[in-house]
Amino acid sequence: MTTILVIAKEPRPGRVKTRLTPPFTPRQAAELAEAALVDTLHAVAATPAARRVLVLDGAPGSWLPPGFDVVAQCAGGLDERLAHAFAGCAGPALLIGMDTPQVTPELLTVDFAGCDAWFGPARDGGFWALGLACPDPALLRGVPMSTPVTGAVQRERLVAAGLRVRDLPTLRDVDTAADAGAVAALAPRGRFAARLARCSPAAETTAEPVSRPAGPR
């Protein structure tokens, strides 16, 4: 059975979803990030898995449901952090992020019979899911992250290694306010949609400037 990995940041104001500010305040952006993460974790909790692991930058909070092991992200770029997450898996593993709260257990229930890898492209050119029957960190190291060609380069890396790749549906990440509205419409009963409905950019007061990290969000 598959190990499911969720790579995420602790939802703290000023550290997550900085591209949502403006129109949202840093606190609202963090609340939306937390709701997206919780929706994702609950989808994972409802998916058959050998093990469920939260690969976290930060500290877990009351938002973490039971049944998850928590491991710290390593230092370095996103490619190194993804590679390190897979390095801790002895068998088949599927890794996803925290930016697709519309994900469902059905999407996450993958079968490696007849294939070596699953690849979930993201609409922005990245990828929202990567599954490996035999996790090999070298398949991720050196892939340029957070670019419009990240997904294409990562998938080509899999193919060049001789892996039989199957594709998952293309999903939209939540990066901007427009993304948030579109994704909430896809999962209107989720926590993310409910939190977005309570966040009113028109009613916010002046927010403090947020420094934007140069690396991956």
Task: Please write the tens of the pLDDT for every residue from 118-174.
Answer: 999 999 999 999 999 999 999 999 999 999 999 999 999 999 999 999 999 999 999
Both structure tokens of 139: 């398949």
Buried (b) or exposed (e) across 147-184, using 16+ Cβ within 10 A? eeebbeebbebbeeeebeeeebeebbbbbebebbeebb
- From residue 15, alpha-carbon distances to 127, 129, 157, 170 in Å are 21, 22, 30, 26
Q: What is the mean pLDDT of residues 192-207?
A: 71
> What is the residue whose two structure tokens read 């952006």?
29
> Within 10 A of 204 (CB to CB), how many other CB atoms are there?
15
> pLDDT-based confidence at 98, cuts 50/70/90?
very high
Does pTM surpass 0.85?
Answer: yes
pLDDT for the residue numbered 217: 37
Residue 53: pLDDT above 70? yes
pLDDT for the residue 206: 36
Q: Of 45, 114, 56, whose CA–CA distance to 85 is shortest?
A: 56
Partners of residue 54 on adjacent β-strands: 6, 70
Q: Is the pLDDT of residue 83 over 70?
A: yes
Q: Is the pLDDT of residue 203 over 60?
A: no
Q: DSSP state, 122? A: B
**The 3-state secondary structure of 127-161, one letter per residue:** EEEEEECCCCHHHCCCCCCCCCCHHHHHHHHHHHC
